[in-house]
Amino acid sequence: MPLSKYRIVIKNQSGRPQDYSLFSSSQGLNIDAQIFTTVLSSNASYPASQAEFDIDARYYAVVGISRGTPGPGIKTQINSHDVTLGSTCANGNQIPGTTLNFAVSSNGAPSFSHDPSPNDAQLGAFEILTPTSYTQDDAIAVKAARAWVPLPNMKYVIWPQRVFYLSPGKYTVGDIVDAGQTKSVIIDFARYPRGVATVVHDSQGRLVIQK
């Protein structure tokens, strides 16, 4: 049975108060575009205590606009829509994943259309269809806070993965960051069938994933 929640536990053994931030990864996005990483959540802990991140296993598609060209330090304004991934029934029949239509209002604000297309996404995926009635300077599309500038008249297929970056430091939720410039570790929940990953922040400042 699929898990309904995932958890990351950070044991703060650094000897000082710490802030921690959780970023998304770009895995599961097979698109020809630059993909930006945004902050999902932040937490803090005192020495000899722990911080926790609980991650809901439900999936959402999110769309919005950025104040400036997407990149580190740029904030986004977003709205979301719940989605279902393509799956297989017990009898072997496939159930298509959610198909969403990307729409742009008269004031240039992007959203998902209230008149969706029939669901047609592949196994383990959902998809977003973009129209020809907007420019890529007007909007950004985001999945699980992974962002890219979409092109008009495209179909983007997204295979969500339970892979995250955990980094020391305080970031604002929704900010775009360059995970490669942070002291982050990668947490892949495919390696944790019980849905719990434990990380030790040691006295050398290292984040060490416990096996």
Say yes or no to pLDDT of 77 above 70.
no
What is d(CA 198, CA 211) in angstroms, rounded to the nearest whole number? 8
The model's pLDDT over 176-205, given as tens digits with 9 standing for 90+, comes to 777 777 888 999 998 998 999 999 999 999
- Please state the pTM of the whole predicted model: 0.74
Say yes or no to pLDDT of 99 above 50.
yes
* Tokens standing for residue 119: 């669901």
For the chain, domains (ranges, CATH) are 1-27+36-57+162-211 (2.60.40.4150), 59-161 (no CATH)
Say yes or no to pLDDT of 111 above 50.
yes
Higher pLDDT, 143 or 149: 149
Higher pLDDT, 156 or 35: 156
The model's pLDDT over 26-51, given as tens digits with 9 standing for 90+, comes to 666 666 666 667 788 899 999 999 99
Banded model confidence at residue 129, pLDDT cuts 50, 70, 90: confident
In three-state form (DSSP H/G/I as H, E/B as E, the rest C), the secondary structure along the chain is CCCCEEEEEEEECCCCCEEEEEEECCCCECCCCCCEEEEEEEEEECCCCEEEEEEECCEEEEEEEECCCCCCCCCEEEEEEEECCEEECCCCCEECECEEEEEECCCCCEEECCCCCCCCECECCEEEECCCCCCCCCCEEEECCEEECCCCCCEEEECCCCEEEEEECCCCCCCEECHHHCCCEEEEHHHCCCCEEEEEECCCCCEEECC
Q: What is the pLDDT of residue 72?
A: 54
Q: Which of 195, 141, 147 is nearest to 24 (CA)?
A: 147
